[in-house]
Amino acid sequence: MDIDAPPVVVVGAGPVGLAAAAHLHERDLPFTVVEAGDGPAAAVRAWGHVRLFSPWRHNVDAAARRLLAGAGWVEPDQEALPTGAQLVADYLQPLADLPALKPHIRYRARVVAVTRRGVDRLRTAGRESAPFLVRLAGGRELLARAVIDASGTWHTPNVLGASGIPAHGETATARFVETALPDVLGADRGRFAGRRTLVVGAGHSAANTLLALADLAVQAPGTAVLWAIRSASPARTYGGEAADALPARGAIGSRLRAHVESGRIELVTGFGVHTLTPHGDQVAVSDGTRTITVHRVVSATGFRPDHGLTGELRLDLDPILGSTRALAPLIDPNLHSCGTVPPHGVDELAHPEPGFYAVGVKSYGRAPTFLMATGYLQARSVVAALAGDWSAARDVRLDLPETGVCDSDRIEAGASAGRGLLPLLPAVDLSTSDSRAGGGCAC
C-alpha cells in the first residue's frame, strides 16, 4: 500500500460510520471520519429519549466489539433494550474515544460536496486515478482514496404534503409543526400538555409518538390526540403484534390498537395533507374535503437522502427509491419488511464511480426497511473490498428477526415512496411504564 496515498474518508460518526472506522482500523487502512456534530452520533442524541425495540445483541458491530473488548469494555446485557442516549453513552461514545479511532475523527466538520479533484462528472480521462475531494463547510478540503458516506437522512425529513411536495401553507405554518420524535413526556411536554395534537404518518415514529401522547392525555386533562393516515386501514401500523419476533416491536401495534379502539386516539383514515392554514393559536389541516384544527402537528412522514452533496459523481441511483439500482429490488418496501431484506454488501452498493459507497440508512434512499445490523454488514463488506479481500467482502450473511412489518407505512397503490419511518429503529420499551419514545426500523 502506498503510505503517501490519501486516507479513506468516512462521512458521519453515527453507529454505521463508527463501525466502518473500526473495520478500517482492523484492516490497517488509513482513515478520517468527518462529523458535522460536536460529538459522535449527533442524530442518535437528538432522539436520546427513545427506547429501541432491538436488544443490545443487535446493536453492536463485531469489529467495534473487538476493539472495545480489548480496552476492557464491559458489554451491556445483550437482551436489554437501550434508549438512544444509552446507545451513545454505553457504546458509541466509548468507541469514538478509543485511541484507535479518536485521533482520526474530526467533529464540527460538515461536508458540503464530494467530487473528484480536478474532474467534473462529464470528464472520463484520468477519472479513476484522481483522488476524491471532500469539501467542508468553511472551505477546507480533504483528499480521499475512497469515500464511505454514512451521513444518514436525519436532517432531510419528508414534507407533510401528500404529493411529496410541501402542502399549501406548510412553510408559513412551520411554527405549528414538529419534526419526528418530539420528547412528549420530557423536554417538549409543555408544547403538548392540555392541547390538541395531530400526528401525520403511519410508521413506528408516528406510532410511538401517539403512544406517548396517549400517556400524556391521562396525566394532563385537555390533551387530545388525533392520528391521520393516507391508507384506509391502520393494519400495517399495528404490524405483527404478538407474532412479532421482536416482542417490543410487536407490542407497539397492540398498544396502539387498544388506544384507537378505546377512543383515546382519534383515527382519521384516507387523509392526505393538502393545505395548512393558521387560525390564531391553532392550525387547520385539510385534505381538500375534511379539516382538522389543532394546536400542534407532528410530521412523522419519513426521511429522504440528500444526493446534492455528490452531484458531480457518477452515481447509478434507482429512479424510485434513490438507492443504488442494484440494491433497490432487495429493499423495495412493496415487497419487503426490514426482516425480509436479504443480506447484501459491496456489490449491491457499488456505483459507476469506483471508490464511493453510501452505507447505512442513506444507502436505502427512501426505502424505510433499514436495520442497523444491516448497516454494520454493509460497512464490513465495503471495507473488506477496499482492502482487496473480495472473499470476505462477498461473504454476506446476517440473521435478522423476521415477523411483523418493519415499516408500517409501506407504499400504497398509487402513493409515493418512503414516508413514515425513522431510520435507526427507535421504539418504546413496553416492559416499563415509560413510553417516551419514537419509532423506526433499524435494529
Compute the distance between CA of residue 40 and CA of residue 17 in angstroms, rounded to an integer: 10
**pLDDT confidence of residue 244:** 61
Q: Which class in CATH covers the domain with range 174-299?
A: alpha beta
**Complete DSSP assignment for 401-420:** --SS-S-TTPPPTTPPS--S
C-alpha cell at 7: 486516507
Residue 3 to residues 22, 29, 100, 145: CA-CA distances in angstroms? 19, 10, 18, 12
Helix (H) or strand (E) holding 162: none
Percentage of the chain beyond pLDDT 70 is 86
Q: What is the mean pLDDT of residues 266-285?
A: 98
Compute the distance between CA of residue 211 and CA of residue 443 in angstroms, rounded to an integer: 20
Compute the distance between CA of residue 208 and CA of residue 252 in angstroms, rounded to an integer: 7
pLDDT tens digit sequence for 54-78 = 889 999 999 999 999 999 999 999 9
- Candidate ranges 163-177, 246-260, 336-350; pick with highest mean pLDDT: 163-177
pLDDT tens digit sequence for 316-337 = 999 999 999 999 999 998 776 6
| DSSP classification of residue 324 | B
Q: How confident is the model at residue 246 (pLDDT cuts 50, 70, 90)?
A: low
Asked whether the predicted pLDDT for residue 416 surpasses 60, the reply is no
**pLDDT confidence of residue 240:** 60
Compute the distance between CA of residue 33 and CA of residue 195 in angstroms, rounded to an integer: 43
Compute the distance between CA of residue 28 and CA of residue 348 in angstroms, rounded to an integer: 24
Q: Nearest to residue 278, comparing CAs of 162, 160, 174? A: 174
Compute the distance between CA of residue 243 and CA of residue 229 in angstroms, rounded to an integer: 24
Residue 76 to residues 65, 84, 94: CA-CA distances in angstroms? 11, 14, 13
Asked whether the predicted pLDDT for residue 247 surpasses 70, the reply is no
| Residues contacting 72, CB < 8 A, separation 6+ | none
Asked whether the predicted pLDDT for residue 29 surpasses 80, the reply is yes
C-alpha cell at 323: 438507492
**pLDDT confidence of residue 238:** 81
Residue environment code for 306-326, b if the CB has 16+ CB neighbours within 10 A, otherwise e: ebebbebbebebbebbbbbee
| 174-299 and 8-155+303-393 share a CATH fold | yes
pLDDT tens digit sequence for 89-139 = 999 999 999 999 999 999 999 999 999 999 999 999 999 999 999 999 999
Asked whether the predicted pLDDT for residue 421 surpasses 50, the reply is no
Asked whether the predicted pLDDT for residue 415 surpasses 60, the reply is no
**pLDDT confidence of residue 407:** 37
- In the numeric block, the cell 444491516 is attached to 374
Compute the distance between CA of residue 32 and CA of residue 45 in angstroms, rounded to an integer: 22
Asked whether the predicted pLDDT for residue 254 surpasses 70, the reply is yes
Name the residue with higher pLDDT: 188 or 240: 188
**pLDDT confidence of residue 26:** 98
End-to-end CA distance of the chain: 35
Name the residue with higher pLDDT: 12 or 53: 12
- State phi, psi for 146 to the nearest 5 degrees: -155, 160
| DSSP classification of residue 195 | S
Compute the distance between CA of residue 443 and CA of residue 66 in angstroms, rounded to an integer: 20
Residue 50 burial by Cβ neighbours in a 10 Å radius (0-12, 13-18, 19+):
buried
384 within 8 A of 347, measured Cβ to Cβ:
no
C-alpha cell at 171: 412553510
Asked whether the predicted pLDDT for residue 1 surpasses 90, the reply is no
Q: What is the mean pLDDT of residues 168-188?
A: 97
Cβ-based neighbour number of residue 63 at 10 Å: 23
What residues does each domain of the chain span?
Answer: 8-155+303-393, 174-299
C-alpha cell at 181: 420524535
Q: How confident is the model at residue 428 (pLDDT cuts 50, 70, 90)?
A: very low
**pLDDT confidence of residue 411:** 30
**pLDDT confidence of residue 400:** 62
| Reduced DSSP (H G I as helix, E B as strand, rest coil) percent helix, strand, coil of the chain, to 5 | 30, 15, 55
Q: What is the mean pLDDT of residues 364-393?
A: 94
**pLDDT confidence of residue 336:** 64
**pLDDT confidence of residue 248:** 66
Q: What is the mean pLDDT of residues 172-189?
A: 96
CA dihedral 344, 348, 349, 352 (to 10 degrees): 170
- In this structure, the strands spanning 196-200 and 296-299 are parallel
C-alpha cell at 24: 478500517
Range 8-155+303-393: architecture per CATH = 3-Layer(bba) Sandwich (3.50)
**In the predicted model, what is the mean pLDDT of the chain?**
88
pLDDT tens digit sequence for 280-319 = 999 999 999 999 999 999 999 999 999 999 999 999 999 9
List of E strands, 232-304: 265-268, 275-279, 282-286, 291-294, 296-299
pTM of the entire structure?
0.87
Asked whether the predicted pLDDT for residue 243 surpasses 80, the reply is no
**pLDDT confidence of residue 236:** 80
C-alpha cell at 273: 395533507
- In the numeric block, the cell 412489518 is attached to 405
